[in-house]
Amino acid sequence: MKNNIPIEEWIKPIKEMNRLRNIKLKHSIDINKKSIIFNFTIINRKLVWTRGSSNRTKDNKRIFYIDYDNMKESFVKEELLMLQERYCLGDILIFQSSENGFHGVSFAKLSLGEFVDILNNSSCDYAFKNMPHYLKFSRYWILRNFDKGSKKKPKYLYTLTSKTDRKQSFAHWKYFNILYPDSKINQLTNSDGLEDITIVDYPTGTNI
């Protein structure tokens, strides 16, 4: 095998790579009469900006947001029905965000601890479950509500209806009614009357 050079030398192209294109590197190191071959493929993903809403309310509660990736709709529906009954979530709106991606939204208000407990007892997307680790100085979760590159905004599918005694976020109910005027979202039964909602613009990786 030729071109056996120190690690410092062959790692240099990675540091100096053109970040706008993909790169492939192949090098080898001889150790104890054996050649160890390293193959690197670095793919640069495009970044596009999108917009979503935070599940945090003005009085520091959280409404139910959940994001599923690479799952069948039947499984998502079955799990949401279980969570709905167990945590008294009331109506849950289901949206399709991609071919095998789904969002669930309930306007029922939860404490931070309750919401985290729900996520930990669900099969939701790992990145969504750990979103606060990526959002510095925040303790809220975001769902995409608008286009992302060639992906259109999530499509409203239907509502899993159920009653709840929990307070419900009027701000989020109003927001989704504006975004989805044809969805026929049910009226709230225990509105909190608050109208503040946090909208977030954020970059996201995509292979479009």
Alpha helices in the chain (DSSP H): 7-10, 12-15, 73-87, 112-120, 126-129, 131-134, 170-179
Sequence ranges of the domains in the chain: 7-44, 48-206
Per-residue pLDDT of the chain (208 residues; tens, 9 = 90+): 444 445 555 455 555 555 445 555 566 666 676 766 666 555 555 678 889 999 999 999 999 999 999 999 999 999 999 999 999 999 999 999 999 999 999 999 999 999 999 999 999 999 899 887 766 556 789 999 999 888 899 999 999 999 999 999 999 999 999 999 999 899 999 999 999 999 988 777 654 3
Residue with tokens 């970044």: 47
Give the closest residue to 172 by CA, choosing from 50, 90, 58, 51. Answer: 58
CA 160 to CA 9: how far, in whole Å?
Answer: 59
The pTM is what?
Answer: 0.75
